[in-house]
A = this chain, B = another copy of it.
Amino acid sequence: MLAVLCGEDQARDLTESPAMRRIASSAVVRYTGEAGLADALRGADVLFVHDFLSRAVPEAWPAADRLRWLHIASAGVDPVMFPGMRDSDVVLTNSRGVFDDSIAEYVLGVILTFAKDLHGSLDLQRQSRWQHRETERIAGRSALVVGTGPIGRAIARMLRAVGMSVSGAGRRARSGDPDFGDVHASDRLVEYLPAFDYVVAVAPLTEETKGLFDAAAFAAMKPTARFVNVGRGELVVTGDLVEALRTGRIAGAALDVFDTEPLPVDSPLWTMRNVLVSPHMSGDFIGWRDTLVEVFADNFHRWQTGAPLRNVVDKQLGYVPSDR
């Protein structure tokens, strides 16, 4: 029996999608919102967390009496990485790969927005003001991509393709990486940060990466550096970031994720002129929801036929280990 946790606004599209109809023809499917999750989990073998923003799984977990597999429709698995899940035998898979190139395009877009002052042009346009400025090149500028999973790799390839100089930061230092060249150790970040014009956060949220970008990290960056976060808001100590931006300790930030989402109306980030805010959408290309369901359906077919599942998360690490 398959339980599907899904948001109210998505329920209709999801149940009527070709992939879910296909599944329903060969399995019992129980759709539920957050309130009914515990009931739905009772007797379920599989849980598909379609509503990947939900934080309801830990509370309903005791009802999972025969669950063997949990699939989440996102790349980050932090919403389901609680002790009861981590210590269980339940297999966890994610939607690795769906967002890689789309997020890479977004990152390049915000880097070019900073370099070419496109946000400045738009602000001036809204006032019908013609004001010539000189702007920056991106060729030859350096970027550190913190997070060496498939999204980080797609970002690195994209930035290299347009002439930027890219390094990575990951769990262990190494050189000769095909996408990054040099990979620095994330736990020694402050030593490397001073070298980079752009710092892109795309690491999975784990105990090790939580709060990685704090006052010390921002203090280590160039005053001209821009910080881009397409990972998780909790990678950042938000107060420290606000302070670094306010005091000009760093030059700007493009933020697609926040420790509280939606970003509260009274957050100072909304009104800072050197900040670009977007509502957790960097990877969400037109068609992404269908693609996410297809990824689950493919894995569900593997489950039914006994084939090995794709994108199995190492629950101790908190992400799918890289082949490299």
Q: Which bracket fits the contact residues of A?
A: 35 or more
Residues of B with C-beta under 8 A to A162: 105, 108, 158, 161-162
A131 at the interface (CB under 8 A from B): yes
Assembly CA distance A99 to B79 (angstroms) = 48
Assembly CA distance A102 to B138 (angstroms) = 8
CB distance from A22 to the nearest CB of B (A): 23
Residues of B with C-beta under 8 A to A139: 101, 105
Q: Is the CB of A113 within 8 A of B109?
A: yes
CB distance from A223 to the nearest CB of B (A): 16
Q: Is the CB of B135 within 8 A of A284?
A: yes
Assembly CA distance A134 to B10 (angstroms) = 14
Copies in the complex: 2
A222 at the interface (CB under 8 A from B): no
Q: Is the CB of A121 within 8 A of B284?
A: no
Residues of B with C-beta under 8 A to A132: 279-281, 284
A285 at the interface (CB under 8 A from B): yes
A144 at the interface (CB under 8 A from B): no
Q: Is the CB of A276 within 8 A of B131?
A: no
CB distance from A98 to the nearest CB of B (A): 12
A115 at the interface (CB under 8 A from B): yes
Q: Is the CB of B285 within 8 A of A136?
A: yes
Stretch of A63-71, A204-212, A263-271 at the chain-chain interface: A263-271
A17 at the interface (CB under 8 A from B): no
A172 at the interface (CB under 8 A from B): no
A122 at the interface (CB under 8 A from B): yes
Q: Is the CB of A276 within 8 A of B118?
A: yes
Residues of B with C-beta under 8 A to A261: 130
Assembly CA distance A131 to B109 (angstroms) = 19
Q: Is the CB of A121 within 8 A of B276?
A: yes
Residues of B with C-beta under 8 A to A131: 279
A280 — nearest CB in chain B belongs to which residue? B132
Assembly CA distance A237 to B287 (angstroms) = 36
Residues of B with C-beta under 8 A to A116: 105-106, 109, 282
A176 at the interface (CB under 8 A from B): no
Given contacts A162-B158, A271-B128, contact A105 B115 (CB under 8 A): yes
CB distance from A242 to the nearest CB of B (A): 15
Given contacts A118-B110, A122-B276, contact A128 B281 (CB under 8 A): no
Contact of A102 among B122, B137, B286 (CB under 8 A): B137
Question: 9 smallest A-B Cβ distances: which pairs?
Answer: A109-B112, A130-B262, A161-B161, A128-B270, A121-B278, A125-B277, A130-B279, A109-B116, A134-B286
For the A-B complex with A121-B278, A135-B284 known, give 19 more contacts whose Cβ atoms are closer than 8 Å.
A101-B137, A101-B163, A105-B112, A105-B138, A105-B139, A106-B112, A109-B109, A113-B118, A121-B279, A124-B279, A128-B265, A128-B270, A130-B261, A131-B279, A133-B281, A133-B284, A134-B286, A135-B286, A137-B286
